[in-house]
Amino acid sequence: MSFKTQNPATGEILEHYSSLSSEEIEHALALGADAVPIWSNTPINSRCTRVERLAEILRVRKDELAGLITLEMGKLFSEAQGEIEKCAAACDYYAENGEAQLEDEMIESDASRSLITYQPLGTILAVMPWNFPFWQLIRAAVPALIAGNTVVMKHASNVPQCALAIDAIFREAGFAEGIFVNLMIESSQVEAVIRDPRIHGVTLTGSGPAGRSVAATAGSVLKKSLLELGGSDPFIVLEDADIELAVQHATMGRFLNCGQSCIAAKRFIVVEAIADQFIDQFKAVVGALQAGDPLDSTTTLAPMAREDLRDELHQQVESSVALGAKIVTGGEIIERSGYYYAATIIDHVSVGQPAWSEELFGPVASIIRVKDEREAVAVANESEFGLGGVIFSGDSERGERLARQLESGAAFVNGMVKSDPRLPFGGIKQSGYGRELSYLGIREFVNIKTLWIR
């Protein structure tokens, strides 16, 4: 079996890579296991120093690495540069704060001394997606490594060059062989790796079906798992909102990364009183997005990552329209080489349409009209997903009150949902469980151990 690099902007196949044999997988897992006692006993300040070096390398090689992202999954080059910068910032955060976040915590009890200590689990398998090929891996791997675990990465099959580059920069940063391992395998081989006794936990960012499969396998062998899955984030615009500000964030929140993000705003739930005004302004901005070469700084709409993803998205739009939704702008495959889809807004989305209940993973904004704030929150919470949510209101206290009612792992008032190393990130319901980032993220893959001493 093999992997291939295919340029989404042209459809051209650039490279093929062979997946690892059984013997090569065995060797890779052995490397990770052998490195555990060495790495876990390395002083934490030394682990942090390597992560500082990783940040330096990311910044120095930003344009080169961003070019790989654009080449393999089609992200606008400027956005890919931003992804690398964000990775470096996350490294900075954990290098500066990781040691304090893992310090022993003293607890009063009937002992002379009692405390909580945070100890590494062993080797963590990271199953990573293609849409943010560097960021998703860095945010999962860096805190696990600082905590003293080793990491084995199974990256998405359509970004093998990114996977190889990630492996290379970890080596360059001083992570010895086995501390970070690139496992170039097929999805069908993941189950056996999870079951391997040398793997002590698994983190996955990906689709719902993939998450359920990984969770079932990890659960069957009683291993810790963390899942960050899909989302259909609500973006609520109330009648007292700053419409211009809401449109600005709606455009970024929906069309960043060509809409291929779990935390992208997807369902725009707009109070009827200002719906036409919001849609008119939104259409003017979205209709001006220009498809083109993602390496060209004038391009504002990138291709989708794969042809099958584009075709599936188009089918969801067409099915929604057949059931009563109305095209405001877009709604078509762009006739040019590569996997481009027009920036799209569909209005009058209602129950029974794919745009109402399914995740639309691409440049399509679904408008749902509601009569008031109560209906807005009810519609937002009807979704099976629970990753993020947004409230736009001229009254921040009102916005906070409603944000607290959203069934989601994060809720933002008057701003788009985004991840930040300082804040925990993750979802509920079908969007997964567990938290990445912040002090909670570094404690996901540790043994939270009680010590009682007389």
Give the residue numbers marked as catalytic.
228, 262
Beta bridge partners of 301: 291
Q: Please check whether residue 201 is in contact with residue 445, taking contact to mean a CB–CB distance below 8 angstroms.
A: yes
Instruction: Give backbone dihedrals phi and psi of 127, rounded to 5 degrees, phi first.
Output: -100, 110
Sequence-ordered alpha helix ranges (H) in 150-306: 160-172, 190-195, 208-220, 243-255, 272-286
| Tokens 């993020």 found at | 388
State how far the alpha carbon of 244 is from the alpha carbons of 87, 192, 252, 393, in Å: 30, 51, 13, 12
Burial 327-346 (b: 16+ CB within 10 A, else e): bbbbbeebeeebbbbbbbbb
| Strand duo 265-271 + 364-370: pairing | parallel
Beta bridge partners of 265: 233
Q: Please check whether residue 424 is in contact with residue 440, taking contact to mean a CB–CB distance below 8 angstroms.
A: yes
Q: Please check whether residue 394 is in contact with residue 423, taking contact to mean a CB–CB distance below 8 angstroms.
A: no
Beta bridge partners of 5: 15
